Every structure is written in structure tokens, then in C-alpha cells.
Amino acid sequence: MAPPRHRDRGFSRRIQYGLFFGYVAAAAGIVAGLALILIARFDPLAFEGIRGLAIDVTAPFSGAGRTVARGASEVGSEFGGYFGAISENHRLRQENADLRRAIIAAHSAEMDNKRLRRLLHAIEPTAQPVTVARIVGSSLTGDRRYATLAAGRADGIRAGMPVRGPDGLIGRIAETGQHAARVLLVTDGGSSVPLRVARTGEAALGEGRGDGTLELRATTLGGQAFRRGDLLVTSGVGGVYPPGLPVAVVVAASGEIGSGRPLADPAALDFAAVLPEVAIAPPPPAPIGAAH
Amino acid sequence: MPPPDFYEPPSRTRLWAIPIGSTLVGSALAAVPIVSQIHILPPFGLMMALAWRLRRHEMWPAWIALPLGLADDLLGGAALGSAMTLWTIAFLAIDAIDRQPTWRDYWLDWRIAAGILLVCGVGQWLIAWFTGGGGLFWPVFPPIVFGILLFPAAAHFCALLDRWRLAR
């Protein structure tokens, strides 16, 4: 096939002007696009109105199909579960008894804890969720890891608020529409959460890597900071995230660097609670992930 | 009795709405109700846009990638302007290739599409990194490879749509 000769064919002034205008518009558009990217770099919340509108428009469709998608993924595990039911029942009974004992121990520890905190006058207000809503989808293309939440500004959600699921921290609100919002997952490359190793109390930082895991960095030098299976919880340092939320489990560790798997798997979760931003955040709502 | 009209052209709305609509649907596939930690789907919006552009050289003006890219950014959640800029540059590049007196065939079209998918995928990552994202680089590649392998299917689907578009 010969090359198409459409762009410079003919002597018609009208067509030639039309082509010329097209190129001018495209070049101007590229400049405008670069300007938009620069704006996104320095003010991530610019254009939240129009972006929120897009979330509002797409969220209902995702929400409608979500139950089907979940149902399909659950069928497999239901079948598998049927056959192992008896042995699993025994195992669970055993586990239940162990946990009962552990709970009693935990209760007494909690009582001690409360008493000691009262002594120290360090009573932390427990955060009441702003709202609880369904997770209806996530961005499957593109390099940012977002999930879509079926609640927005109308429910009191603002950009920057932390979001948790039943198992742990999911992420942080990135943008809001009127009735839907985008959650920046903790695994996004732009997310970093101050953490604490639950076993030792050592401080660490969990940065998303964009491949479903977190990179963990101990902030104290020397020694083996993490062990496989360590639980990491939010430390609450710097505000934003309330302290004590479970975030991740260490899956690999070497020295001060570790790799963590987030506890709240957005693929499996249905509901999420949006928590108020902890008050000691820096004055303007910190631009999400603007730090580099 | 007047003679039957042998060729009644399809309506103008149908002519422009089907290519643009199918591209938008491709972009909107980013909102399918699966929640995932890594991105697995190739950029269907870009694939459809490329398929139409490579199939119908005269159909779209040079600036059409601007609104299509903007819609893709809005639907997919990327920073505004990223697909807008990259797609427009890609379309201008195809224009430049169209000017070259080379022999055009199916394989060359595929290679053009593959190159553009690669450049746009890496470009999207760079823009995401610049606007505060980042993370590891390698997760960029599976969707790109996926997209390149699936492009012939997209081109075929585009051809089916095109036949339906021009049908009486």
C-alpha cells in the first residue's frame, strides 16, 4: 500500500488553511497540556471541580457492576472452602479457644494501659469516622493507584482525610466529587505513611512502590529493624493519620529496608471508613505526595 | 414513482460519533468495577484512538487528540494534561510518518502503534512521577506489552465498527 497523501493534497486554499489551523491548534494544545502538568505538580487540587465531576459520572457504573465482579471472584473460594470444611472447623475451634485466652490477656493489658495513660494525662481522643462508604472501583490503567469511594463532598469528605478498611489503613482521599471520591492507596508511589513496628515500637516510613507493596525504611540506624511477619501500625507522627491503625505486614527484610504487604487489600474489601484528618497536620492540606 | 435512492450516505452524526464514542468507551474501561493493587489493563483508549487514526487517515483533524486525551485523563485519574500532551504528540508523529514516502502495510502500522504505546506508557509514568507519583518503574511494562499484543484485535474491532459506521 502506498503512503497516504492526504495531508498535503490539493490546491484548495480552504483545505490548506484548515490543515494549518489544525496543526496550530495541536501545538497550542501541547503547550496547554504541559502547563496543566506543571499546575498538577505544584497544586494537585487544582481543577478538583471538573475532576470530581468525572469521578461522580463514572462511580455509579463501577458501583453497579461491583457486586457482579465480587461475586465471580468469590465463587472460586466458596467451592474450595466446601471441601476443607470439617478440618477447618476443628482448626478454627482450636484457634477460637486460643484467641479467647488472648483477649482476656489483652483486656487486662488495656486496663493497665488506660490507667497508665491517665497517669500521664495523655488521653487520645478516638477518631469517629466521618462516613462509611463502599469502595466501588480502582484505576486499572495509568500509573497512579487510586480506588473510587462511593461518597463525596456531600458526605463531608475532604481531600487529605485518611481512609481505613476493616483490616487496616487503605490510604488517603486524593480528590472529591460531590458523591464520589478518589482514594490514593498506600501502595501508590506518591504515598508515604509514618509507621511504627508494633513489636519494637521503632519508627519507620512506609512508601508506596506502585506494584502492590510498600517499601519500609527504618528511621533508626543500625541493626535489623524488621523481621518477617512484623506488624506495622501508623505512628501518628506529623498528624494526618491517627496512631495505631494497622497498615502492613513485613514480607521481606534486610537491614533498615524492608518490604511490606498492605493488610487492607482493596481487591477484597467492600466498605471503608473515612476518618477525620488528625489536627496537627501542616496548615494547608498537604499536597498529596508532592514531596520528592 | 421515483427511482429508489441507491446510495443514501449515513448521517453525519453517526460518522463522527462512532469513532469518538468508541475511543471514550475505551478510556472508560479504566473504571470497570475491579479493584486492583497494580495496573493490569492496557490503555484501551489510546489503542482505539490509534486504530482509528491509522485506519482513517483523513477523518480526524490534527487537534482531535486534545479533547480525547483530556477525557482519558479525567476518566482514568491521571494528572490533567498527560494523555492530552502525549496523544497529541503521537498523532503529530503519525502525520510526520504519513509524509514519508515509505511503503505502508499492516506490519508497519502495528510497529507504529507499538512504538507509540511504548513512548506514551513511559511518558505517562514520567508525568506521574513528576506530579508526585513515582514508585517502581517496571510495573509500566506489562500493560504496554499487553497493549502491543492486543493492538491487532483493537484494529480489527475498529474495522468492524467502521463497516457498521459506513453501512446504509
Write a three-state SS string for A31-59: HHHHHHHHHHHHCCCCCHHHHHHHHHHHH
Q: Do B58 and A6 touch (CB under 8 A)?
A: yes
Which single residue is written with the C-alpha cell 502525520? B95
Q: Which of residues 11-40 of A touch B (CB under 8 A)?
A: 18-19, 22-23, 25-26, 29-30, 32-37, 39-40
Quick one: pLDDT at residue B85?
94
Determine the straight-line distance between the first and last CA of chain B, rounded to whole angstroms: 22
ipTM for the complex shown: 0.82
CA B45/CA B150 separation, integer angstroms: 13
Q: Tell me the pLDDT band of A76, cut-offs 50, 70 and 90.
A: very low
Cβ pair A37:B130 closer than 8 A: yes
List all residues 6 or more positions away from A17 whose beta carbon is below 8 Å from its beta carbon.
none
Q: Where are the alpha helices (DSSP H) in chain A?
A: 13-42, 48-83, 85-120
Using alpha carbons, select from A50, A235, A172, A148 the residue that is nearest to residue B132. A172
For A162, phi then psi, to 5°, come to: -75, 150
From chain B, the residues in CB contact with A267 under 8 A are 34-37
- Give the distance from residue B12's alpha carbon to the nearest chain A alpha carbon, in angstroms: 19
Chain B partners of A138 at a C-beta cutoff of 8 Å?
34-36
Other Cβ atoms within 10 Å of A137 Cβ, number: 28
Chain B, 17 to 56: residues with Cβ < 8 Å from chain A are: 28-45
Residue B33 DSSP one-character state: S
User: By three-state DSSP, how is residue B159 classified?
Assistant: helix
Chain A residues within an 8 Å CB radius of B62: 19, 22-23, 25-26
Q: For residue A126, is pLDDT > 70?
A: no
The pLDDT of residue A253: 83
pLDDT of residue A281: 46
Domain ranges of chain A: 46-83+124-281
Going by C-alpha positions, the residue among B15, B22, B41 that lies closest to residue B142 is B41
Contacts of B55-61 with C-beta under 8 Å, sequence gap 24+, read B55/B155, B55/B158, B55/B159, B55/B162, B56/B19, B56/B162, B57/A4, B57/A6, B57/A7, B57/B98, B58/A4, B58/A6, B59/B19, B60/B19, B60/B91, B61/A18, B61/A22, B61/A25
Using alpha carbons only, what angle is made at residue A142 by residues A141 and A146, rounded to the nearest 5 degrees?
A: 85
Express each pLDDT in A210-243 by its tens digit: 777 888 888 777 777 788 888 888 888 877 888 8
Q: Report the alpha-carbon distance of residue B96 to residue B90 in Å, rounded.
A: 10
Per mean pLDDT, which range of A115-124, A193-202, A248-257 is the poorest?
Answer: A115-124
CA angle B38-B44-B45, nearest 5°?
120
Residues 137-166, chain A, touching B (beta carbon < 8 A): 137-148
CA–CA gap between residue A3 and residue A111 (Å, rounded)? 81
A30–B127 CB contact, under 8 Å:
no
Question: CB–CB of B128 and A143 under 8 A?
Answer: yes
Q: CA–CA distance from A210 to each of A75, A272, B22, B113 (Å)?
A: 28, 21, 29, 26
Mean pLDDT in chain B?
A: 86
Q: Do B75 and A54 touch (CB under 8 A)?
A: yes
Instruction: Give the type of residue at A269.
Output: L
Mean per-residue pLDDT over chain A, rounded: 78
> pLDDT tens digits, residue range B16-64?
899 999 999 988 887 666 655 566 788 899 999 999 999 988 888 889 9
The Cα–Cα gap between B69 and B133 comes to 19
Q: Residue A247 pLDDT > 60, yes or no?
A: yes
Q: What pTM does this model have? A: 0.75
A41/B130 CB distance under 8 A: yes
What dotted CATH number matches A46-83+124-281?
2.40.10.340
State residue A292's pLDDT score.
45
A contacts of B125 (beta carbons < 8 Å)? 143
Helix (H) or strand (E) holding A170, with range, is: strand A169-176
Query: What is the rounded average pLDDT of the residues B83-92?
Result: 94
Q: Quick check: A232 and A260 in contact, CB under 8 A?
A: yes
Residue-wise pLDDT tens digits, B97-110? 888 877 888 889 99
Bigger pLDDT: B135 vs A80: B135
Report the DSSP pairing between strands A181-185 and A203-208: unpaired
- Calculate what percentage of chain B has a pLDDT beyond 90: 43
